[in-house]
Amino acid sequence: MIVALLASLGLTDVPHGTTTPDVRPEAPTRIVFMGDSLTDVEGMDTPFPMYPELLVSNDARWWPGAEGQDLVSAYPSLAVVHNVAVGGSVSSALRWQLRELEAREGAGPQRGETLVVISTGGNDVLESMDPFAIPEITRGITANLRRVKGALEARYPDGMHLYVANIPDPTGAGDAGEPRCWEPEQAVYLDEMVNAINGRMRAAGESEGYGVVDYYGLVRDHGYGGLGVDAADPLAADPVHWYMDCVHPNARGNDALRHLFLEAIVGG
């Protein structure tokens, strides 16, 4: 039923996957993190480093084999980090995060090449369980990203490079997850819905010149509770387990997301 509905709306057979801008950063001096709880380091307060921290500078206490696999190694010029992400926020809240960024840095254009990393869209999806709302949700997410990109380009005239994570499957990322997370009907609906929206996000990134990293594909089949391992253990013995709860990645998941963004920004 859901697949048929998506087909009637023209939302099937849309490709997703990582897409990157043609222009690579040269010597960025600043990185800005925006978005939701996937990026909100302060709000989440996890016992392990989250991907924004690892992306900037590897934590050898957790990942001793990943020395040099970070942005400060690739770009010694990188000196300033701002994280204005807020847990629970939807894509329309990005404009308020821009105001917080302005409060921290000051008004007007800021000098220096800048990287911007955003996670958004997941809460837009979770706010609506109506499959007929998929086109509206998709338009909202892509329009909000377009507005934010324009504002960031004006703020950082020396070069602004934007990278956005697409939406992971919140039903357990390829398995149905624990029953207390999602009902089977929700699992099917959300997976199809997220897949459709991600295709449109990728198309928007390609046409408007920003990167969209395939977080959906990254965590596919690495879902919460799928293998019966202890969800409270951030470094569970089974390396396939990447979730600490129904939505958020554990230590392994954050490390994997760090590498996904790093490859998109720096290149292979």
Residue with the two structure tokens 């992971």: 168
3-state secondary structure of 133: helix
How many Å apart are CA 27 and CA 225, to the nearest integer? Answer: 41
Averaged pLDDT, 169-191: 60
The domain segmentation of the chain, as residue ranges, is 2-266
**Residues in CB range of 251: below 8 A, 6 or more apart:** 48, 49, 62, 234, 235
For residue 185, what pLDDT band results from cuts at 50, 70 and 90? low
> How much is the pLDDT for 227?
44
- Does the pLDDT value for residue 7 go beyond 70? no
The model's pLDDT over 125-172, given as tens digits with 9 standing for 90+, comes to 888 767 778 889 999 999 999 999 999 999 999 999 999 999 987 665
- 60 residue type, one letter: A
CA 102, chain centre distance (Å): 22
CA dihedral 45, 47, 48, 50 (to 10 degrees): -10
How many Å apart are CA 38 and CA 44, to the nearest integer? Answer: 8
Residue with the two structure tokens 């001793």: 64
Cross-strand bridge partners of residue 163: 117, 211
For residue 202, what pLDDT band results from cuts at 50, 70 and 90? very high
Range of weakest confidence among 16-25, 182-191, 204-213, 223-232: 223-232
The model's pLDDT over 30-53, given as tens digits with 9 standing for 90+, comes to 999 999 999 999 999 999 999 999
CATH number of 2-266: 3.40.50.1110
Sheet with 160-165, side-by-side order of all strands: 80-83, 30-35, 114-119, 160-165, 211-213
